[in-house]
Structure 1
Amino acid sequence: MTSSVPSEGRSASPSPHTAAVIGLAAYTRTIACTRYAKDADKAPSMDLRAELLHMSAEAVASFDHLRELATGTGVDVLAAAQPFVGTLEDFDERLRPLDWYERLTKTYLTFGLMRDFVVALAATLEAPLRDQLTEEMSADRLAAFAPAQLVPGIAEDTQLAARLGLWGRRVVGEEIGTMKRLLISAPDLASTGADADALHEALSQGATTRMRELGLRV
């Protein structure tokens, strides 16, 4: 996304905005760890279970990388992430998947949108922090794993495609609403004047791309 927000200048101590963006990035890795492990428990085969467990462990390693990065910028990552704890609880309560296909579709779209959101916010920071956060958020293998599992079934079963299309659109709508509310409840995320409309556009474009990659109607 091309941000309309000027890059944040460097200072001796990190701004609340910088701390909030790093904290959100770190928090997303903790919930990725938990979600991938839960999905592994529901996986229909042992190879998928093992792969998701590996990705869960990689999410822990990613959190540790972000913690090191935060320390280097003077941010206490645990304190910075704390305000975001529970962010997705209502979202998960409203959207309970009925089967493996719905579960994996939900995880794929949810964490893709989280990545887009964090990357768009990181664009308001200065390099190298901006680039380091973007690279860390882009390293998640779920982006390739989920389509590889979902696309064949969707391509072969029109009823499954229709059902997952409806489910995917619901997931996207609820998740974008959650991100919008987060900007209000955590104003430090947008304290540089981050354009809510531009953030919404970035999320919408990302969601459209992922739905089409799965072969689902947007």
Structure 2
Amino acid sequence: MTSLLSPADRTSAASPSQHAAAVAGLAAYARTIACTRYAKDADKAPDMSSRVELLRMSAEAVASLDRLHQEASAAGVDVLTAAAPFIGALGDFDERLRPLDWYERLTKTYLTFGLLRDFVVALADTLAASLRDLLTREADTDRLAAFAPAQLVPAIDADTQLAARLGLWGRRVVGEEIGTMKRLLAAAPDLAASGADAEALHEALSQGAITRMRGLGLRV
């Protein structure tokens, strides 16, 4: 992950309280979105095995939120209070881009939550080590990064038309979500510490999206 701060800036912007609370609040809000989204996807899953795994991941997102709440409190951050301003800020994924089938739905979930993970981790890099490590660790507990490719890659490999369609769909999803995150960064200045580089953030998000698209066997 590309750092958003130069070494000189990292010390001066180590963990201003409003900035730390904003980043931790966004991380907590991301966990609530994951819980809701995975449960919705479970309802559309094509088989019981996928349905149960997504429901488990939804429950795991709640457990992750509880850990964030407890451990961030020790650092003086109430993540539930800090998350409140972000309600609705990322928009409704399903309303903005409606998937036509299970493959589009899962591709969309995989890419959007991958981007959200990269966004949170990049911003957390500007925090004091204890809070940074907490947010990064919880972001990386999400099993979607393994679940979605296991579902998608065999289908994409077996169907060139599906691969072409999902490639186009994935590019739309990535463009929409990166634009949303850039607007969120502009609307919530506490998210960006002094010295944060918007271009570096965009590059980090873009590279993460490219890696995931290629990992699925999709053209970027």
Aligned to 2:26: 24
Instruction: Please point out which of 42, 45, 49 is paired with 1:43.
Output: 45
Instruction: Please point out which of 66, 87, 90 is paired with 2:89.
Output: 87
Alpha carbons of 1:2 and 1:173: their partners in 2 closer, same or farther (altered >3 Å)?
Answer: closer
Is 1:105 the equivalent of 2:72? no
Q: Name the CA distance, whole Å, in 2 between partners of 1:22 and 1:69.
A: 11
1:8-61 per-residue CA deviation (whole Å, 9 max, x = no partner) reads 346xxx610000000000000000000000000000001110000000000000
Identity of aligned residues (%): 78
Alpha carbons of 1:27 and 1:4: their partners in 2 closer, same or farther (altered >3 Å)?
Answer: closer
Q: Name the CA distance, whole Å, in 2 between partners of 1:4 and 1:171.
A: 24
1:160-196 per-residue CA deviation (whole Å, 9 max, x = no partner) reads 0000000000000000000000001111001323110
Is 1:120 the equivalent of 2:122? yes
State the one-letter code of the partner of 1:3: S
1:112-134 per-residue CA deviation (whole Å, 9 max, x = no partner) reads 00000000000011212211211
Number of corresponding residues: 215
Alpha carbons of 1:9 and 1:90: their partners in 2 closer, same or farther (altered >3 Å)?
Answer: closer
1:107-163 per-residue CA deviation (whole Å, 9 max, x = no partner) reads 000000000000000001121221121111011000000000000000000000000
CA contact (8 A) 2:4 2:125 kept: no
SS of structure 1 residue aligned to 2:214: helix
Alpha carbons of 1:54 and 1:4: their partners in 2 closer, same or farther (altered >3 Å)?
Answer: closer
Structure 1, unaligned runs of 5 or more = none
Q: Name the CA distance, whole Å, in 2 between partners of 1:32 and 1:85.
A: 13
Aligned to 2:209: 207
RMSD (Å), alpha carbons: 1.2
CA contact (8 A) 1:91 1:178 kept: no
